[in-house]
Chains A and B, each alone.
Chain A
């Protein structure tokens, strides 16, 4: 009887066996893993989850600015992949496929959130962007900062808030490009838009961010 070597092995023993197997041989591609998951191999699907869980969680978190919600949506993303494994067609990369699902879920969440949004006390000072959507007032804090750690924390928080305040149609391309470091081509496939539209929206989003983060640049 073999000893359990890690917590992952305790939680997902099948996954651990696949991990050992793939450590010896070449790592299986995403398509191969999904193909195995389609035939009922849960270990293969667990390996897919292990590969993408952090990326998807981080991506959705940057879109929604809500960690718990992002975890739930990331799990829902994997559940949809699992349910639709039979219908999956390996036309594009698996990452494109799973990012598309995650994007759709996140945008749906943002729209639902917008419907149940409460009236902001600063709503009187809201301005509208060029798309006609209200933009929350978030003036740059120009006071001098005192400590390097506080500076970093404050900067991160400001950037997070600035990204969260972007209109969703600009937010997703910017996160995919500047945080997830995806190519324009892949972003176009994920968001189902042309490469030119992707570049245009990313440029627009950066301009918004530059205006918001003027004090940190």
Chain B
């Protein structure tokens, strides 16, 4: 055995056995350098290994448990937050959904009508042929397009539409007394009557007869060459009451000019106006 191997064995020696191999012992007895090295290492290891062992304090476990408890108390809400899963909210979400659906169904019949205008084609289709009334006026159908059911009656004559409207309101009233409060003001059907002096041949009046409070949506086109005259609007409510309103026609002067006898007009062509502007 050489010195290097002997020193390695001295270094690797387990202090609990404290015994070297016979070859190392023989080398150390012969080699003073290795013997000194071995003695130094042995003394050093005894010195280091002989240090007193420090122990944990008596309250180590107590402090340990306190730290663990503090850790749990802090980690509990955090863990609950990180363990969030959508499935945990399934029942509350289902309850909210059911509440929203039931509330929408409950309040749906009480909504005000939001379809004030009837398209011209529907109004035209719903308009019956001019019929002679007591005042020999042209009666126009009253249309109350407030629901799909009512819309289905638009193709019927106005009187029937009104009656169906009334029956619908009565059904609602009978079904739900609460509706009476909301729909206490019966909607009035609108009839537009044109006086004989203002017979608008070929011009079917357009109007929206959603109610008396919605007269602003009644559109009645008037031809420019039509003679001047009053427009009478007959308002009938479902209780049978009727009211006639006279509406003066609005003229901006063109009808006056065109209505003068002997007035002749020629169309101005674009080419004739070239160079003027």
Interface residues of A (CB under 8 A from B): 7-8, 11-12, 15, 42, 46, 49-50, 53-54, 56-58, 61-62, 67, 70-71, 74-75, 78-79, 82-83, 155-156, 159-160, 163, 174, 178-179, 181, 184, 199, 202-203, 206, 209-210, 213, 216-217
- Let me know if B263 is at the binding interface, CB within 8 A: no
Q: Is the CB of B57 within 8 A of A71?
A: yes
Whether A209 pairs with B64 at a CB distance below 8 angstroms is: no
Q: Can you list 24 A-B pairs with a CB-CB distance of less than 8 A?
A: A8-B61, A11-B61, A49-B64, A54-B55, A56-B56, A57-B54, A57-B55, A57-B56, A58-B54, A58-B55, A71-B57, A74-B60, A79-B64, A79-B68, A155-B47, A156-B51, A156-B52, A159-B47, A163-B48, A178-B48, A181-B15, A184-B12, A213-B47, A216-B47
Contact with A along B28-53 (1 / 0, CB 8 A): 00000000000011011101110111
Bound complex: CA A56 to CA B57 (Å): 12
B residues lining the A interface (CB < 8 Å): 8, 11-12, 15-16, 40-41, 43-45, 47-49, 51-58, 60-65, 67-68, 71
Which chain B residue has the least Cβ–Cβ distance from A70?
B54
On whether the beta carbons of A78 and B12 are closer than 8 Å, the reply is no
What is the minimal beta-carbon distance from A82 to any residue of chain B, in angstroms?
7
B15's nearest neighbour on chain A, judged by CB, is A181
B44 adjacent to A210 (CB under 8 Å): yes
Apart from A71-B60, A210-B44, 10 more pairs, CB < 8 Å: A49-B64, A54-B55, A57-B56, A71-B56, A75-B64, A79-B71, A156-B51, A179-B48, A184-B12, A209-B48
| A7 contacts across to B, CB distance below 8 A | 58
Smallest beta-carbon distance B43→chain A, Å: 5
Question: Total A-B residue pairs with C-beta atoms closer than 8 Å?
Answer: 91
Closest beta carbon of chain A to B27's beta carbon, Å: 18
In angstroms, Cα B223 to Cα A73, docked, is 99
* Docked complex Cα distance between A181 and B7 (Å): 19
Contact of B40 among A11, A57, A58, A210 (CB under 8 A): A210
User: Across the interface, do B45 and A178 meet the contact criterion of CB distance under 8 Å?
Assistant: yes
Of the residues A11, A179, A216, contact of B62 by C-beta under 8 Å: A11
B53 cross-chain contacts in A, Cβ below 8 A: 54, 58
Q: Collect the chain A residues with CB atoms within 8 Å of residue B40's CB.
A: 210, 217
B-side contacts of A209, CB under 8 Å: 44, 48
User: Given A70-B54, A156-B52 in contact, is the A75-B44 Cβ separation under 8 Å?
Assistant: no
